[in-house]
Amino acid sequence: MKVIKGKQSIEFEKPPYLLSWASVVAQKEGEGPLGDFFDQVIDDPFFGEKTWEMAEGRFMKQAAMLAIQKAGLTKNEIRYAFAGDLLEQNTATSYGLKDLELPMFGLFGACSTAGESLSLASITVAGGFAEHVLAAASSHIGSAEKQFRFPLEYGNQRPLSATWTVTGSGGFIVSKKKSPIKIRGITTGKIVDYGMKDPMNMGACMAPAAAQVIYQHFEDYSMAPKDYDAIYTGDLGEVGKDILIRLLNENGYDISKVHGDCGLEIYENETQDTHSGGSGCACSAVVLASMLTRKLINGEWKRILFVPTGALMSKTSFNEGESVTGIAHAVLLEKEET
């Protein structure tokens, strides 16, 4: 069996498993439609810390510890950690995970980090380099708004295409040990630039990257949308979702029946006033660690494609007039028949 598949994909010979997962979110996410599915809802947005940055780190630490605990492991049994967040120099990850003392790879994939960390963790396990690997991603609306937009107390009118950064973190243990969910393969996305410049319309900036990676995944695996029970993108929101479906339609794939977006699941956009949906590294991570895994476990779904999407930009690149480029990583998850 060939492991390298097509142009951008891997199909593991001995697939690694998703041994456990944990989601820790803040109050607003807890009040959303998925509220009951999260492992922990923390009411204090500072999580006992003094700053937004440290609070985000604390969310990640909590998710990581919970995932380790749910896997029935101790932190000494975790060989590597792959984790990242949205902040400059991965502040939240570095400070959040330092106490766990794990061999660490810090990642930056913007909001696609959940997919990137799961991909690398799977490769590491499938390659036989580790038994158990931690993958984690976090975001916090306080630290994200402060870094990328305005101070939280500043008044401005958000456009309808704007999304709401999810506060929380998702942690996963990827392992050799069998579990009900296996990671059959991955498709790694390319950086895609369609010249979009509006940072308040992230969905439109990232949709082309998602379209590219999903298209390539179908090609590499010789599969079609009907072969999947669900295809979930990370945080495209209402606007990005429509664009993605249209872009893929023009390329001969109709995913409208199986497509969902994590950003559209996590909030009640109308009543919670989140406009185009949720976003941030934590968005796709906590939706996978709650709703998506749940549906795989209870047998509602057999095969899903999880495609977190990220916008690769910084405040500097934006001020210097560069466009917002996008990236997306696909992870193919299947229910293990027992």
> Site residues (CB under 8 A) for another protein?
26, 28, 45, 50-52, 141-142, 145-146, 150-161, 194-198, 200-201, 204, 208, 211-212, 215-216, 238-239, 242-243, 246-247, 250-252
Q: How many CA atoms lie within 13 A of 127 on its CB side?
A: 10
Q: CB nearer to another protein: give 200 or 258.
A: 200
Q: How many CA atoms lie within 13 A of 67 on its CB side?
A: 34
CB of residue 65 vs another protein: minimum separation in angstroms?
Answer: 24
| β-pairing verdict for 164-165 and 230-233 | unpaired
CB of residue 247 vs another protein: minimum separation in angstroms?
Answer: 8
* Per-residue tokens: 37: 């599915």
Q: CB nearer to another protein: give 2 or 50.
A: 50
CB of residue 195 vs another protein: minimum separation in angstroms?
Answer: 4
Per the CB < 8 A criterion, the answer to whether 235 and 268 are in contact is no
* Rounded-to-integer distance, Cα 280 and Cα 301, Å: 25
Q: CB nearer to another protein: give 123 or 209.
A: 209
Q: CB nearer to another protein: give 124 or 212.
A: 212
Place of tokens 């593991």: 12
CB of residue 276 vs another protein: minimum separation in angstroms?
Answer: 9
CB of residue 194 vs another protein: minimum separation in angstroms?
Answer: 4
Q: For residue 316, what are the contacts with CB-CB under 8 A and spacing of at least 6?
A: none
- Among residues 305, 301, 304, 296, the alpha carbon closest in space to that of 329 is found at 305
CB of residue 275 vs another protein: minimum separation in angstroms?
Answer: 9
* Rounded-to-integer distance, Cα 229 and Cα 220, Å: 18
Q: State which amino acid sits at residue 304.
A: I
CB of residue 335 vs another protein: minimum separation in angstroms?
Answer: 29
* Rounded-to-integer distance, Cα 94 and Cα 13, Å: 33
Q: Phi first, then psi: what are they for 19, rounded to 5°? A: -75, -40
Q: Phi first, then psi: what are they for 254, rounded to 5°? A: -105, 105
* Rounded-to-integer distance, Cα 241 and Cα 155, Å: 28
Q: CB nearer to another protein: give 190 or 302.
A: 190
CB of residue 183 vs another protein: minimum separation in angstroms?
Answer: 25
Ranges of beta strands (E only) in 159-271 are: 164-165, 168-175, 181-187, 230-233, 259-261
Q: CB nearer to another protein: give 3 or 160.
A: 160
Ranges of beta strands (E only) in the chain are: 4-5, 9-11, 17-26, 40-42, 80-84, 104-107, 132-139, 164-165, 168-175, 181-187, 230-233, 259-261, 278-279, 303-307, 309-312, 325-328, 330-335
CB of residue 155 vs another protein: minimum separation in angstroms?
Answer: 3
